[in-house]
Amino acid sequence: MLSRRYFFSTLLAICLVVLSFNFAAPASALGGKLPQVNQPAPEFTLPTNSSNGQVSLSDYRGQWLVVYFYPKDFTSGCTIEARRFQQDLPKYLAKNTQIIGISADDVDSHAEFCDSEGLKFPLLADTSGKVSKAYGSWMSFISARHSFIIDPKGILRETFVKINPAIHSQEVFARLGELQADS
């Protein structure tokens, strides 16, 4: 049996490889074709760690939505990114915008991650990678670090593929403001 330390070190190494690959590779190499901006966002329904049990894209009609895909709970880059979204959550909510995170981790892992980091937004379990694939965000067995802004009508308005977890929430929030001002 693998030691817990070895297991988490391996996961951290995988996340770092994914992060470095994410900066260098085109989106098409990472997970397939990204959905087109100004077209309906791919529909989904996935299990979540929240009390709702599952979340669908259609649950957010009438609100802006930030959907961010990430490789793995409890790894350094993924933790930083989640913390920044949580830190900025009140600003997003003030702009009628919800945040959801999606990875291949299961619901139990998401629940532990949310408890550990104090996350107040849902994390969705895409264990088969089906939704990650629909969003061009799949790499063999984990989700690639991509984010999307979806408008209140379910139309994809922005895609982010070259992501620095430490500043990503600020970038998304700035672009959200521009999109909302234009609509």
Burial 47-68 (b: 16+ CB within 10 A, else e): bbbbeeeebebeebeeebbbbb
* H/E run at residue 97: strand 97-103
Helix then strand then coil, in percent of the chain rounded to 5, is: 45, 20, 35
- Phi and psi, residue 159, nearest 5°: -130, 140
Q: At 20, which amino acid appears?
A: S
- Examine the residue annotation and report whether 114 is marked as an active-site residue of this protein: no
CA distances (Å), 96 to each of 52, 65, 100, 146, in order? 20, 8, 14, 21
Q: Are 15 and 77 in contact (CB under 8 A)?
A: yes
Of the candidates 57, 78, 100, 102, the residue annotated as catalytic is 78
Do residues 146 and 27 make contact, with C-beta atoms less than 8 angstroms apart? yes
Task: Name the residues annotated as catalytic.
Answer: 78
